[in-house]
Amino acid sequence: MKNYRPSRWLRIGIPVLLVLIWLVGGSIGGPYFGKIDEVATNDQSSFLPSSAEGTQVQERLGDFLGSETIPAVVVVSSDTALTDTQLSELTALSEDIAAIDGVGEVSPPIPSDDGEAVQLFVPIDASGEVSDIVAEVRTLVQDEVGDGLEAWVTGPAGFTADLVKGFLGIDGLLLIVALGAVFVILVIVYRSPLLPVLVLLTSTFALCVALLTVWWLAKAGIFLLNGQVQGILFILVIGAATDYALLYVARFREAIGTGQSRWTATVQAWKGSFEPIIASGGTVIAGLLCLLLSDLASNRALGPIASIGIAFAVLSALTFLPALLALFGRVAFWPFIPKDAGVVLPERFDADPAKAMDAHPVKGLWARQARFVARRARTVWIVCTVVLLAASVGVLQLKADGVPASDLVLGASEARDGQVALAEHFPAGSGSPVYVIVPQDEVTDALTVLDDSDGVDTVAIASADSPTGQAGIALEGGEPVISAQGPPGTPAPEPTVVDGDVMLVGTLTDAADSLAAEDTVRDLRAAYADAVPDALVGGSTALDVDTNDTSIRDRNVIIPVILLVILVILMLLLRAIVAPVLLILSVVLSFGAALGVSALVFNHVFGFPGADPAVPLYGFVFLVALGVDYNIFLMSRVREESRAHGTRPGILRGLIATGGVITSAGLVLAATFAALGVIPILFLAQLAFIVAFGVLLDTFVVRSLLVPAVAYDMGRVIWWPSKLSRRDAEATTTGTDGDDDIAVDHLTRAEYRATLDT
Map out the domains of the chain as residue ranges: 8-38+192-333, 56-165, 355-393+583-610+626-757, 429-545
Does residue 343 surpass a pLDDT of 50? no
Q: Residue 507: helix, strand or coil by DSSP?
A: strand
Q: What is the pLDDT of residue 463?
A: 85
Res. 24 pLDDT band, cuts 50 70 90: very high
Does residue 575 surpass a pLDDT of 60? yes
- Which residues, in sequence order, are CB contacts of 201 under 8 Å at separation 6+? 320, 324
DSSP string for 303-352:
HHHHHHHHHHHHHIIIIIHHHHHHHHGGGGGTTS------PBPP---SS-
| Pick from 208, 186, 250, 189: nearest CA to 36 | 208
Number of Cβ within a 10 Å radius of residue 279? 21
Average pLDDT of the segment spanning 692-698: 90
Whether 565 contacts 290, CB under 8 Å: yes
Instruction: Indicate the pairing of strand 69-77 with strand 536-539.
Output: unpaired
Res. 243 pLDDT band, cuts 50 70 90: confident
Res. 46 pLDDT band, cuts 50 70 90: low
Rounded to two decimals, what is the model's pTM? 0.80
Res. 250 pLDDT band, cuts 50 70 90: confident
Q: Percentages helix, strand, coil for the chain, rounded to the nearest 5? A: 65, 10, 25
Phi-psi label, residue 275: left if phi above 0, alpha if psi -120 to 50, beta otherwise: alpha
Number of Cβ within a 10 Å radius of residue 323? 21
Query: Which of 16-25, 287-296, 414-423, 669-678 is modeled with the greatest confidence?
Result: 16-25
Beta bridge partners of 475: 480
CATH topology of domain 8-38+192-333: Multidrug efflux transporter AcrB transmembrane fold (1.20.1640)
Q: What is the pLDDT of residue 596?
A: 93
What is the DSSP secondary structure assignment for residue 492, as one 8-state letter? P
Q: What is the pLDDT of residue 12?
A: 82
Q: Residue 509: helix, strand or coil by DSSP?
A: coil
Q: What is the pLDDT of residue 555?
A: 86
Q: What is the pLDDT of residue 45?
A: 54
Angle ∠(230,538,294) on CA atoms, nearest 5:
40
In angstroms, rounded to a whole number, what is the distance separating the alpha carbons of residues 227 and 409? 13
Does residue 749 surpass a pLDDT of 50? no
What is the DSSP secondary structure assignment for residue 704, as one 8-state letter? I
Calculate the CA 629 to chain-centre distance: 17
In angstroms, rounded to a whole number, what is the distance separating the alpha carbons of residues 449 and 434? 13
Q: Which of 94-108, 111-125, 357-371 has the lowest mean pLDDT?
A: 357-371
State residue 49 phi and psi, 5-degree precision. Answer: -65, 150
**What is the tens place of the pLDDT at every residue in 377-426?**
899 999 999 999 999 999 988 888 778 777 888 878 888 888 888 888 88
- Which residues, in sequence order, are CB contacts of 402 under 8 Å at separation 6+? 515, 518, 544, 547, 548, 551, 610, 612, 613
CATH number for the region 56-165 comes to 3.30.70.1320
Q: What is the pLDDT of residue 594?
A: 93
Q: What is the pLDDT of residue 349?
A: 36
Q: What is the pLDDT of residue 261?
A: 79
Average pLDDT of the segment spanning 538-565: 88
Does residue 471 surpass a pLDDT of 60? yes
Amino acid identity of residue 679, one-letter, is: I
Do 8-38+192-333 and 429-545 have matching folds? no
Measured CA to CA in angstroms, residue 191 lies from 186, 194, 265, 334, 573 at distances of 8, 9, 21, 8, 34
In angstroms, rounded to a whole number, what is the distance separating the alpha carbons of residues 135 and 145? 15
Burial 709-731 (b: 16+ CB within 10 A, else e): bbbbbbbbbbbeebebbebebbe
CA within 13 Å, CB half, 64: 27
Average pLDDT of the segment spanning 351-379: 68
Q: What is the pLDDT of residue 345?
A: 32
For the segment(s) 429-545, the CATH number from 3.30.70, 1.10.10, 3.30.300, 2.70.98 is: 3.30.70
| High-pLDDT (> 70) share of the chain, % | 88
Q: What is the pLDDT of residue 342?
A: 35
Angle ∠(188,192,196) on CA atoms, nearest 5:
80
**What is the tens place of the pLDDT at every residue in 210-238?**
989 988 888 887 877 776 777 788 888 88
Q: What is the pLDDT of residue 484?
A: 67
